[in-house]
Amino acid sequence: MDFFDNIFTNIYAWLAFWLHELLMGWNLPKDVESALVSAIMIILVIIVIILWMVLMVLILIWLERKNAARIQDRVGPNRVGPWGLLQPVADTIKMLIKEDILPENADRFVHTIAPMIVMMPPVLMFAVIPWGKGMVPVDLNIGVLWIIAVASIGTIGVFLGGYGSNNKYSLLGGMRAVAQMVSYEIPQVLTIVPIVLMVGSMSLVKINEAQSGWFGMQWFVFAFPVGTIAFVVYYLSALAEVGRTPFDIPEGESEIVAGYMTEYSGMKWALFYLAEYFNFFIVCVIGATLFLGGWNGPILPGYVWLVAKTYALVLLGMWIRMTWPRFRVDQLMNFAWKVLVPIALVNIVLAGVALPIFKMIGF
C-alpha cells in the first residue's frame, strides 16, 4: 500500500528531478536554478489543486441535486451524461454564454469585484490543508490562524455585492449576510481553541499527526466531552457561516428576493453560486482535518480517507439542508450568541482543566 500512499509525493519528486535535469543544460547559477525549480513546482501544485477543487465542486453540485431529488422523491438530473453527471458542466457553459446585466445605478467596479472577492478565501485556505502523507502545499506553523483569518475575506465580498448593486433587497441581504457571518465566526473560531490546546500547535500537519494511532480512537471527535462538543459547535457554525439552507437568511427568497445576489446575472452570479459550494467543501475538509483525523486511517491511502471523511460531512450537510426549514432571523442570532458562544467558552475552560488531569493519568 506504500506505493499508492506515496504516489503523489513520488510524482512530485520525479517531476522536480526531471525539471532539474532539464535546467542543467542552461548552466544557471545554483541558487537561481533551485529557486526556479521550486517556483515551477509550486505553480504546478497550485494548478493541480485548483483543477481538483473545480472537479470536486462540480461533483458536489451534482450530488446535491441528486440527493435533494431523492429526499423529495424525484429523480433529479438524468439527461446530460450518465446519471446526469455532466449537468453541472452544461450549467457552467450556459452561465458562460449568458448576458451580464449591469443595473443602471450600480457601482460598476464594486459590482464586478464582489464575486471575485467571494471566491478568494477557499483558494487561500487550500494552501495549508494536508491532503495526505507529505501532501501539503505549505505547512504554515500558524495554519489554523491563517484559515480563520482568510475566512473573513468572504464577508467583505458579500457586503460589497449588496452595496454595489444599488438595490434595497441587495443591501438588506448584504447587511444580513454580514451580521450572520460575523456572528457565527465567533463560535467557529472559539471552538477550534480546545483543539489547538490539546495539540499545542496551530500547524494543521501537527494537528493531523496528533490524531494518528489507536485505530481512529485518537480523533478529536472522540475526545469526549471536549472534542465532541467542539465538533458539533464547529459543524453548526460552519454551516451557518457558509449560508446553507437552514441558515440561508441572507438570500431568503421568500423575503428579500435573492439577497445580495438579486442584481447579479451570468458569470458573476455563477461565481457567487460556485463560491458557496467551494466554501462548503473547504469547510468540510477543515472539519475532517481538525476533528475526524484528516488523512489518518487504515489500509486505504491517506488522501482517499480525507476525501471519504469530507464527503461524509458533505452528505450530512445536504441531509440537514433538505430536512430543515429556514430559521427566523432572531432565532438565528440567538442560536449564535446565546447557545453556541457560551458553549464554546465553557468548552475552552473545560479543555484547560481536563488536559492536565489526563496528562497526570498518563493518557
Q: How far is the CB of 165 from other proteins (least distance, A)?
A: 8
Q: Which three cell numbers stand for residue 333?
A: 442570532
Q: How far is the CB of 38 from other proteins (least distance, A)?
A: 5
Q: How far is the CB of 10 from other proteins (least distance, A)?
A: 20
- Name the amino acid, one letter, at 358: F
For 161-174, the DSSP string reads: HHHHTT-HHHHHHH
Task: Identify which of residues 12 and 337 has a Cβ nearer to other proteins in the complex.
Answer: 337
Q: How far is the CB of 172 from other proteins (least distance, A)?
A: 8
Q: Which three cell numbers stand for residue 261?
A: 445576489
Q: Which three cell numbers stand for residue 156?
A: 467583505
Task: Identify which of residues 189 and 318 has a Cβ nearer to other proteins in the complex.
Answer: 189
The Cα–Cα gap between 70 and 313 comes to 18
Task: Identify which of residues 76 and 154 has a Cβ nearer to other proteins in the complex.
Answer: 154
DSSP 72: T
Task: Identify which of residues 21 and 104 has a Cβ nearer to other proteins in the complex.
Answer: 104
No. of helices (H) and no. of strands (E), the chain: 15, 0
The Cα–Cα gap between 47 and 52 comes to 8
Q: How far is the CB of 227 from other proteins (least distance, A)?
A: 14
Q: How far is the CB of 122 from other proteins (least distance, A)?
A: 8
| Residue pointed to by grid coordinates 429526499 | 71
Is residue 133 within 8 A of residue 302, CB to CB? The reply is yes
Task: Identify which of residues 81 and 137 has a Cβ nearer to other proteins in the complex.
Answer: 137
Task: Identify which of residues 136 and 307 has a Cβ nearer to other proteins in the complex.
Answer: 136
Phi, psi of 100 (to 5 degrees): -100, 110
Is residue 107 within 8 A of residue 115, CB to CB? The reply is no
